[in-house]
Structure 1
Amino acid sequence: MIFIIFTTSAVDMIRYMEEEWETLIASIETGELPPWDEIKEPHFPPRPERAAQLRAVGKAADQAGWLVKIWPMLKSAISIGSGVFSVAVPKLRFYLGPDVQLRSLGFLTSEAHVASVYDPSDLNLFKVSSQDLIEYLDVVKEDNVSSIVPPIGKHYEIVCTTRDGLWRYRLGDIVEIAGFDPTDGSPIIRYFGRRNVITWMAGGALTEQHITAAILAVQDTLAPIVEFTAIIDSHSGIPTLAYLVEVHGELHPEATKAPMKLHGELCRLNEEFDPQRMQVPTIRVLEPGTFGEYRQWRIEVTNSGSGQAKVPVLMWDNSAREWMLARVRRELTADPNTGALQG
């Protein structure tokens, strides 16, 4: 079994193994680790036969089911794959292969355990099973918070009162009521997103859901997306949505058409957007491994744990933006004057 908090971290692990493959094989073969400063016991029993097996399999590259090839007994992987982490699920499934079950860890936050996995085959379906008090705040009527189970299909913010001292703490997570467990009536929920209108643009509210849904909808034109974030680029004088993406493999032949397709998708998702005022988004393709390196950099800069090194859907931190922009290898955009596609 593989147990790792986020699917994005699992993809980071695979990429790191690929980059350090020869070092990994040599260490297993000889029983000695490289001279890293923080390693106090660099020796362990050598396993030349195991090293030979792994050498025969080779690096991950584009090998479907690669994880099963190196760990033949692998049957399941447990990782959070809902919300923004869903973007890494296709690539992780590719490396797991069709016979390994990918299951969610549950609906967990730093403050409380909110819900458990309800359907192992669905990464975004949870049964509220917290021993703390869970209440539901109507996203439309903020003064209407209740522990009474709300109707199916509506969206609510989770409010939590814990045994450890938090009193009616707003988690900021929005869920959709999907149904109720027939055995005990417990609510079944889906994670919907973070509670905030991120910004206003072209006469409408630009939300986390709009940004995510739009970029995922253009993968067939751009390339399979490993991970992404977005920034508001104002250097031209007009706020423009700019995506920073890491892709799997090469860009598709018609990738230069992706910005215009993004523009149309954003306007479709929110009819309040004025297509004439909405600037065509830019897409900046990052170097492979950028997001994994970003998480490591963020951990070191903030002195925080790996569970807090999350990539936001919309990035406001200037130092983080500059760090990302320094790793752009290609930009796809449309000429602001002629609308001609560039890239």
Structure 2
Amino acid sequence: MFLYMEEEWDILVTSIDSGELPDWTGIDHVREYLQPHFPSRPKRAAELRAIGKASQQPGWLAKVWPMLRGVSTIASGVFETAIPKIKHYFGPDVKLFSHGYFCSEAPVGFVYDPSDMNLFKLTSTEFFEFFDVDNEGTASDLIRPWQVNVGKLYEIVVTAHKGLWRYRIGDVIEIAGFDPNDGTPLVRFVERRNLVAWLAGAILTERHVTNAILAVQDTLGSIGEFTTVIDDHSESIGYLVEIQGDLGPKVDEAPERLLVEFFRLNEEFRSAFDSKKMKPPTIRILKTGTFREYRRWKIEMTKTGSGQVKVPVVMRDSAAREWMLRWVERELGYGSISSESINIDEHDGHATGEVAKEF
């Protein structure tokens, strides 16, 4: 909604001033019902013109809605990448809150600490069991809530009270603790259990893909949204990234930092790289508004609602990949690099040393 407001700002303000709905295609059948609720508001239009479409400045929408104090949103997993964008629009004085942890099968958890957007207390209406993530998972391996350990990762299994069916919803959670009042487990969402991809024999999970790119925002710039593509021929992962605001001052260092993050997250990546089975990751910077247009294009292609269009962590649809690559504005990558030329600082995870780069 915010991106559409930004894109259609002039039309929006003009319509508020005149009290006339825009002459947009596809609204003729509802115009007569909407128009009576859309009076002319010249004073409000003047306020908005004075504010302007200052979307590059933090806190733009806090000026549009000065009484706004809080925003409730999904903020765990891959949705975490949108948090910097939301904070940019609203500024530091508007508080962000989590909706809770829900899935289509059953409610999983409610917000436990409003200041922690990824900490939930399991609901008391459903029954939960767990698989250790190191196990394949059969009925005999199920662990009860009172048997889990703090700090361990589990796949969560929910039995909905309305249907008495066990659902493996495919989510991996971490046990963060227990509510001191009743002992109910407190959990954090970690990732989807399903394997994202194999890359040169190394296991690539949603958490690897997400955490690696989030770790390089200080050099790359604030990430609005991203997806990835896997090149099956060269065994490399390529990020397609839309930046919120300006590129970082050391943007050319981002691929090197990204590779270091993969090494840090999983030793299998370093082994695959050293054996020349894996090529270094690349980062393609997309034009502003790419993901907005992608959703619009996908809605038109699939004839579905906007709520059903999700950006995958790894884009496998060849048509979608081809469409997305047309929006590339700049590409960052390597010519040659060896892991011996990278030293990882154990304290901050940063890379040091001479690296041969070709952009």
Q: Structure 2 length as normaliser, TM-score?
A: 0.86
Other-structure match for 2:72: 78
SS in 1 for 2:219: coil
Cα gap change, 1:257 to 1:176, in 2 (>3 Å): same
Other-structure match for 1:56: 50
Other-structure match for 2:357: 341
CA distance in 2, matches of 1:160, 1:300: 35
Other-structure match for 2:102: 108
CA distance in 2, matches of 1:114, 1:223: 34
Cα deviation for residue 336 of structure 1 reads 5.4
Other-structure match for 1:5: none
Residue pair 1:137, 1:146 contacting (<8 A) in 2 also: yes
Which moved further from structure 2: 124-133 or 332-341?
Answer: 332-341
CA distance in 1, matches of 2:329, 2:164: 45
SS in 2 for 1:146: coil
Cα gap change, 1:79 to 1:260, in 2 (>3 Å): same
Cα deviation for residue 167 of structure 1 reads 1.8
Which moved further from structure 2: 127-136 or 27-36?
Answer: 127-136
Other-structure match for 2:20: 32
SS in 1 for 2:311: coil
Residue pair 1:155, 1:175 contacting (<8 A) in 2 also: yes
Cα gap change, 1:246 to 1:85, in 2 (>3 Å): same
Other-structure match for 1:296: 296
The unaligned stretches of length 5 or more in structure 2 are 339-354
Q: Structure 1 length as normaliser, TM-score?
A: 0.90
SS in 2 for 1:220: helix
- Whether 1:218 and 2:216 are equivalent positions in the alignment is yes
Cα gap change, 1:294 to 1:206, in 2 (>3 Å): same
Other-structure match for 2:260: 264
Residue pair 1:174, 1:192 contacting (<8 A) in 2 also: yes
Other-structure match for 2:342: none
| Letter in structure 2 aligned against 1:105 | H
Residue pair 2:145, 2:185 contacting (<8 A) in 1 also: no
CA distance in 2, matches of 1:215, 1:245: 9
CA distance in 2, matches of 1:212, 1:202: 19
Other-structure match for 1:282: 282
* Structure with bigger gyration radius: 2
Which moved further from structure 2: 157-166 or 17-26?
Answer: 157-166
Cα deviation for residue 164 of structure 1 reads 4.3
Q: 2:84 aligns with which of 65, 87, 90?
A: 90
Cα deviation for residue 59 of structure 1 reads 0.7
Aligned residues: percent identity? 54
Which moved further from structure 2: 151-160 or 73-82?
Answer: 151-160
Cα gap change, 1:127 to 1:296, in 2 (>3 Å): farther
Residue pair 1:181, 1:188 contacting (<8 A) in 2 also: yes
Other-structure match for 1:314: 314
The unaligned stretches of length 5 or more in structure 1 are 1-12
Listed one character per residue, the Cα deviations across residues 225-248 of structure 1 (whole Å, up to 9, x for unaligned) are 1111111023xx321100000002
Residue pair 1:135, 1:145 contacting (<8 A) in 2 also: yes
Residue pair 1:113, 1:130 contacting (<8 A) in 2 also: no
Other-structure match for 2:173: 175
CA distance in 2, matches of 1:315, 1:154: 30
Q: 1:243 aligns with which of 234, 239, 253?
A: 239
SS in 2 for 1:110: coil
Cα gap change, 1:130 to 1:336, in 2 (>3 Å): farther
| Letter in structure 2 aligned against 1:239 | E
CA distance in 2, matches of 1:239, 1:166: 44
Residue pair 1:225, 1:247 contacting (<8 A) in 2 also: yes
Residue pair 1:137, 1:159 contacting (<8 A) in 2 also: yes
CA distance in 2, matches of 1:293, 1:162: 38
Matches within 5 A, 1:11-26: 13-26=1-14
The structure with more helix, counted as a fraction of residues: 2
Other-structure match for 1:192: 190
Q: 2:156 aligns with which of 141, 146, 158?
A: 158
CA distance in 2, matches of 1:20, 1:82: 29
CA distance in 1, matches of 2:164, 2:76: 25
Other-structure match for 1:65: 59
RMSD: 2.0
Other-structure match for 1:9: none
CA distance in 2, matches of 1:258, 1:337: 14
CA distance in 1, matches of 2:250, 2:356: 14
Residue pair 1:263, 1:279 contacting (<8 A) in 2 also: no
Residue pair 1:222, 1:258 contacting (<8 A) in 2 also: yes
Cα deviation for residue 88 of structure 1 reads 1.2
Cα gap change, 1:304 to 1:32, in 2 (>3 Å): same
Which moved further from structure 2: 265-274 or 185-194?
Answer: 265-274
Cα deviation for residue 172 of structure 1 reads 0.7
Cα gap change, 1:305 to 1:119, in 2 (>3 Å): farther
- Whether 1:145 and 2:142 are equivalent positions in the alignment is yes
